[in-house]
Amino acid sequence: MKAILLAVMAAISLVLGGCVFPGSKLGPGDKIGDMELTTEFDINVHDLCTFEELGAGTCVIPVSVQVLGVSVGWSEDTPEALEAAWATSKWELTIDGRPIDLDAFGTFDLDWGEKRARVWDVGLIGLSPGEHLARYEFFVDETVERGNHEQIYQFTVAP
């Protein structure tokens, strides 16, 4: 009887292990529809559209672009100021209404003009035609721009 119970429990674990429950955060390799979340991309959405187009929802991405970053970050004048701002910041991301586990994606640092920036490493593979919305909501404390912020990437993948 114990062997049967263990076998049933093992089968249930295998089935549930591949499920994403409503409300759970998605990480690399998870899917939103047919699109897979990734940390591997060469083109970011703001390379193709301006921040104004992304905010207004007038950004159009050709369906031929099949791997696209939807990353955003924060910059400061010095690496020390960036570390201080980042250490107390709090970030949330949803893509098409689905919550994303940002810590699972990680970040990368880069020089942005005269500033140092830290950027979330979030991308999509296999872009689905239609409208998409990536919404970052974040709070930054240790900076002159202290407070709540939002960055919206609203774009349409057109065939």
CA torsion through residues 63, 66, 70, 71, sign: negative
Looking at the structure of the chain, the number of domains it has is 1
Q: Strand, coil or helix: what is 48?
A: helix
The CATH number that applies at residue 41 is 2.60.40
Q: What are phi and psi of 30, to 5 degrees?
A: -75, 165
Q: Is residue 131 part of a domain?
A: yes
Q: Is residue 127 part of a domain?
A: yes
pLDDT at residue 99, rounded to an integer: 98
Q: Is residue 15 part of a domain?
A: no
Q: What are the tens digits of pLDDT across the range 25-63?
A: 999 999 999 999 999 999 999 999 999 999 999 999 999
Q: Where are the alpha helices (DSSP H) in the chain?
A: 2-17, 45-48, 51-56, 79-87, 102-105
Q: Is residue 1 part of a domain?
A: no
Average pLDDT over residues 142-147: 70
Q: Is residue 96 part of a domain?
A: yes
pLDDT at residue 140, rounded to an integer: 83
pLDDT at residue 103, rounded to an integer: 96
Q: What is the pTM of this model?
A: 0.81
Q: Is residue 3 part of a domain?
A: no
Q: Is residue 109 part of a domain?
A: yes
Q: Is residue 91 part of a domain?
A: yes
Q: What are the tens digits of pLDDT across the range 101-114?
A: 999 999 999 998 89
- Domain of residue 137 covers 24-158
